[in-house]
Structure formats: structure tokens, C-alpha cells
């Protein structure tokens, strides 16, 4: 796309970035409301990063009934508490699960719907009402702190997928790389590869645009240069800071163009076989690069050059190396998925995000892809 073509960019989320910046949370929170509620998942509340946030937001009550795959039930429960206790600002701390649950609940609590299911699977518009939400990521991956999406699971209907709308943008993101220093190697790799998927897919989406392209390339460069080092040397402050910056950049890079085949394929892998979101995205990433690169032409060359790579195969090799380093599944057998499930995976991978893919993907293409991954 030429920079002279018509395009629109927006990012209504304020971003505060830097080591130790969670020290600014009291002022940032007070500017948005007088009755905050902290939201985190069940595991994070036991860990040092959450304790550090609690130290600066002393006495703020906590909601922690958030599962690693946030559910419609968790969103409904959080919204009910926000309403009952009359909280007027939400502080979401953690990875995508906590942030997505909080984003959806902040909208639900401010509106008149009884359940987020109406929006998630019943076709009701999200609307514009919301409580202000402040996002504090403790991983370097989802970019949820700057996106208008929330990925939810409905365990009753067996549906997993995103809801979207401008009301889901956090009003403020507080990105403190120090909160990521204690991440284990596998979580560092999984979340980092999720960020890489965001950068790549935001760039090759049919809806790509120049400002998002610039952020996508820079995010990919930072991830390719720093993810392995951050995983192997968790106390490396420079690598951790680079990854936190890259994750936020990648979130900003895909929030308007949206994702494509990698994320479309991730939904049945997560819904049917309970793969973590980043693992599910990484599962098909090498195949997606090989599938799309031939139609990208000079744009792919520019992306690879900007990321510090010489070819698409070099990128594929790096992704495989990182997956192996993190112990992520590289084949259906690794993931415990029977080959007999391939037809179902192919059918269920046609999420609307597939329409953003730069190369048209058919069901036969998907079957062939999954057969190569046996």
C-alpha cells in the first residue's frame, strides 16, 4: 500500500511504559475513578508481580475468578460484582485472560445486558457503554492492553472466539517490563510467539495500512532479536524491556488490520483440544509463513529485511527453534490430536479472520496443511 492511499489510524489508549512505572498507578487510577477493583487470574494472585501491584494500590479489593481461558461465566460474575459493589474503575493485571475478562465485564457492567453471551454468540451489538479500564500486562505477548478485542470461551455452547468494539479499548495501559522478569521460559516463549503472530498477521492482513506496517516490522525485529535471550536469561532487563515494548507495538499493529489464518486456525485448537492461545497460534505459524510468503512479493521482502532476516525460510527456522526451546508442540502427535480430527479442524478453522489472509485458503489447503503436521 502506498502511503498516499486512503487509510485511518487510531489508538485511543494512553500508554505509560518503563521500568518501575507501576509506581504511577495510584495517580492514573484516581484520575479515572474513586472505587477501583483489581482483576487477575487465579494463579497470578499468588505470584510476585501481582504483589508488587498490590503494594502500590494498597487496600484495593481483588477479583480473581478468572480462568486461563476466560469464560462467559467469569465475565458475568465479574460484571455482577462491579455492579453490586458500585466500582467505577477496573485495573486488569496479568496476561490476555485477565485483561480480556475485565474488558468484557467493564462493558457489561455499564450496560443493560444480563450476560456477555448475548454479544459473544447471540448477535447482540456490544454498545458503547463501559467502565474505564486500566490494563497492566505481566506478560509480553497478547498486546491486549491496546486492542479493542476480548477472546472468550462459552463452555456451555462450546464456542471460543473474540468480541470486538471500541468500548473494549483500555483507557490506559501501564506497561512495566519489570513485571515480566519472573516469567518461566515456556511462558516467555509462548507469549513472545503470540506477539510475533500479531506482528506478522497485522502486516500481511488484507486490511494492512502504513502506520500499522511500521509498528509490525519493528515489533518483529525486536522479537526476533530478543525473545530467545529473554527466555534463556530471564533477568536480562534489556531483553525483557524489548519484549514488553514489542508486544505492545504488535498489539497496536494488528488492532486495526486484524489477524488472519494463524488466529483463525487457533480457535478450534483451543476450543477442542485446550491449547493455550499462544501455543495454538504458534502451532500453524511456520505453515502460514510458507503459504503466504509467495503472494506477498516485495512486501514480504521488506518485512523480512526490517526484521533482520534474509528469507522466509530463515523466519520459519527461527519459529521452529523457539517452539522447540519452549517445549511447544510442533506436530499433531505432539499435541495429542488424532489425525482423524483433521477434517473437523479444517472445517472449524474458517473463522471470519480467515478472510483477512493475503492468500485465499480453501478447505483442501487446510486439510493438506494439517496432514503435513501429522
* Percent of the chain whose pLDDT exceeds 90: 92
Same domain, 127 and 65: yes
State which residues form the domain around 219.
Answer: 184-372
Q: At residue 134, does pLDDT exceed 90? A: yes
pLDDT in tens, 57-90: 999 999 999 988 899 999 999 999 999 999 999 9
227, with CB counted inside 10 A (0-12, 13-18, 19+), is buried
Same domain, 141 and 212: no
Q: At residue 2, does pLDDT exceed 70? A: no
Same domain, 73 and 132: yes
The residue among 116, 151, 179 that closes a domain is 179
The residue among 179, 199, 214 that closes a domain is 179
pLDDT in tens, 13-35: 999 999 999 999 999 999 999 99
Same domain, 272 and 327: yes
Q: Mean of the per-residue pLDDT values for the chain?
A: 95
Ordered strands of the 172-175 beta sheet:
14-17, 172-175, 133-137, 89-94, 36-39, 62-63
Same domain, 160 and 262: no
pLDDT band at 155 (very low <50, low <70, confident <90, very high): confident
353 belongs to a structural domain: yes
CA distance 342 to 345: 5
What pLDDT, on a 0 to 100 scale, did the predictor assign at position 4?
Answer: 58
6 belongs to a structural domain: no
What pLDDT, on a 0 to 100 scale, did the predictor assign at position 1?
Answer: 45
Same domain, 194 and 336: yes
Number of structural domains the chain divides into: 2
CATH number (domain holding residue 55): 3.40.50.1970
4 belongs to a structural domain: no
Same domain, 131 and 267: no
90 belongs to a structural domain: yes
pLDDT band at 111 (very low <50, low <70, confident <90, very high): very high
Same domain, 364 and 302: yes
Same domain, 169 and 191: no
Cell numbers given for 317:
527456522
Amino acid at each position: 500500500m502506498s502511503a498516499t492511499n486512503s487509510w485511518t489510524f487510531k489508538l485511543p489508549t494512553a500508554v505509560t511504559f518503563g521500568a518501575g512505572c507501576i509506581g504511577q498507578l495510584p495517580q492514573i487510577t484516581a484520575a479515572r475513578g474513586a472505587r477501583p477493583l483489581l482483576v487477575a487470574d487465579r494463579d497470578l494472585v499468588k505470584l510476585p508481580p501481582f504483589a508488587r501491584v498490590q503494594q502500590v494500590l494498597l487496600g484495593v479489593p481483588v477479583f480473581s475468578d478468572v480462568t486461563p481461558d476466560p469464560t462467559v461465566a467469569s465475565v458475568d460474575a465479574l460484571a455482577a460484582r462491579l455492579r453490586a459493589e458500585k466500582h467505577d474503575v477496573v485495573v486488569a493485571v496479568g496476561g490476555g485472560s485477565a485483561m480480556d475478562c475485565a474488558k468484557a465485564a467493564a462493558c457489561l457492567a455499564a450496560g443493560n445486558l444480563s450476560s456477555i453471551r448475548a454479544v459473544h454468540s447471540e448477535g447482540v451489538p456490544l454498545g458503547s457503554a463501559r467502565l474505564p479500564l486500566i490494563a497492566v500486562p505481566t506478560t509480553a505477548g497478547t498486546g491486549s492492553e491496546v486492542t479493542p478485542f476480548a477472546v472468550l470461551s462459552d463452555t456451555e455452547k462450546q464456542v471460543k472466539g473474540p468480541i470486538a468494539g471500541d468500548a473494549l479499548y483500555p483507557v490506559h495501559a501501564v506497561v512495566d517490563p519489570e513485571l515480566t522478569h519472573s516469567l518461566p521460559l515456556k511462558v516467555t516463549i509462548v507469549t513472545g510467539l503470540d506477539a510475533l503472530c500479531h506482528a506478522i498477521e497485522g502486516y500481511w492482513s488484507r486490511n494492512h495500512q502504513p502506520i500499522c506496517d511500521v509498528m509490525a516490522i519493528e515489533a518483529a525485529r525486536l522479537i526476533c532479536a530478543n525473545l530467545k535471550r529473554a527466555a534463556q536469561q530471564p533477568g536480562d532487563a534489556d531483553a525483557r524491556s524489548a519484549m514488553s515494548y514489542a508486544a505492545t507495538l504488535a498489539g497496536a499493529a494488528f488492532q486495526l488490520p486484524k489477524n488472519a489464518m494463524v488466529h483463525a486456525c487457533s480457535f478450534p485448537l483451543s476450543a477442542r483440544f485446550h491449547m493455550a492461545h499462544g501455543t495454538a497460534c504458534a502451532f500453524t505459524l511456520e505453515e502460514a509463513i510458507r503459504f503466504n510468503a509467495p503472494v506477498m512479493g516485495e512486501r514480504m521482502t521488506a518485512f523480512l529485511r526490517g526484521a533482520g532476516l534474509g528469507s522466509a525460510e530463515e523466519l520459519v527456522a527461527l519459529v521452529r527453534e523457539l517452539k522447540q526451546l519452549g517445549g511447544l508442540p510442533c506436530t499433531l502427535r505432539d499435541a495429542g490430536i488424532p489425525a482423524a480430527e483433521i477434517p473437523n479442524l479444517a472445517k472449524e478453522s474458517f473463522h471470519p479472520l480467515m478472510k483477512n489472509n493475503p492468500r485465499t485458503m480453501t478447505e483442501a489447503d487446510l486439510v493438506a496443511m494439517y496432514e503435513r503436521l501429522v
